[in-house]
Structure 1
Amino acid sequence: MYQFSYAEVAQDTAVDARERERQALDHSIALLERAAKNGPRSRDAIEAIYITRSLWAILVEDLGQAENGLPQELRAELISIGLWIMNEAEAIRAGRSTNFKGIIEVSRMIRDGLN
């Protein structure tokens, strides 16, 4: 029978969580890229905006929890980025912007930082 220390299990869980976050960001980015091609009033844009805003709402909520293991300054910066992404997505939904490219670029940077 295998025995693992709590630290090993916790590390595996953190790695799994980062991988799930990376996959969720990949999905959001792919939707945003398709929406950028098909326009801000397309069905693809509606789906991309909904998924992106939902994802970042979850991430921002998690980052705001005291139990989150990231340093407080990094958490605050990521929350600010998340709020910016959600605001940009809302501006696209409301017809005030078409800034898919900005959201995609920032999302890629965050995804790539999940190593």
Structure 2
Amino acid sequence: MATAAGAMYQLSYAEHLADDPKVCRDRERHALEHAAGLLRKAEAAGTLSAEANEALSYVSKLWNVFIQDLVDPENDLPDVLRADLVMVGLWIVKEAALIRSSQSQNYRGIADVCLMIRDGLK
């Protein structure tokens, strides 16, 4: 399924930041909502499912892109907010790895955090 978030991986994130800030935020909201939807499907299908693999890969890639942007000195968000979001992103990437290794089943926790961040982008 082609999404705005999928396009994010084809171009560097910095190229997208040149877009209108509203367009960027809309794209980020859509990507986070898509991540939450994939995680819900993965939770229902089970850890060893193709849905789980897709969801965990997507979420990890998405948050690695976000983290990369957040640590960029050119990012104009306040330092405290950037640091907080990096910590959230690192937790999500770690939690996804724990799910992959059957040490966690916290799909819902990751999805909820993605939706909270999405809602904060409004």
Per the alignment, residue 45 of structure 2 pairs with 38
Per the alignment, residue 4 of structure 1 pairs with none
Residue segments in structure 1 that go unaligned for 5+ positions in a row: 1-9
Pairwise CA distance, 1:22: 0.5
Could you tell me how far apart the structure 1 residues matched to 2:120 and 2:95 are?
21
Pairwise CA distance, 1:95: 1.1
Secondary structure, counterpart of 2:48 in structure 1: coil
Could you tell me how far apart the structure 1 residues matched to 2:118 and 2:99 are?
22
Per the alignment, residue 35 of structure 2 pairs with 28
Per the alignment, residue 70 of structure 2 pairs with 63
Secondary structure, counterpart of 1:57 in structure 2: helix
Residue segments in structure 2 that go unaligned for 5+ positions in a row: 1-16
Pairwise CA distance, 1:69: 1.4
Could you tell me how far apart the structure 2 residues matched to 1:26 and 1:106 are?
10
Secondary structure, counterpart of 2:39 in structure 1: helix
The reply on whether 1:78 has 2:85 as its aligned counterpart is yes
1:105 is matched with which residue: 88, 112, 120?
Answer: 112
Pairwise CA distance, 1:66: 1.0
Could you tell me how far apart the structure 2 residues matched to 1:40 and 1:108 are?
21
Could you tell me how far apart the structure 2 residues matched to 1:114 and 1:86 are?
20
The reply on whether 1:17 has 2:17 as its aligned counterpart is no
User: Could you tell me the percent identity over the aligned residues?
Assistant: 45
The reply on whether 1:51 has 2:48 as its aligned counterpart is no
Cα deviation, 1:34-84, whole Å, max 9, x if unaligned, reads 001111111100000000000000000000011111101000000000000
| Code of the aligned partner of 2:52 | A
Could you tell me how far apart the structure 1 residues matched to 2:41 and 2:27 are?
21
1:96 is matched with which residue: 92, 103, 112?
Answer: 103
| RMSD of Structure 2 on Structure 1 (CA) | 1.5
Instruction: With the length of structure 1 as denominator, give the TM-score of the two structures.
Output: 0.88
Could you tell me how far apart the structure 2 residues matched to 1:91 and 1:27 are?
21
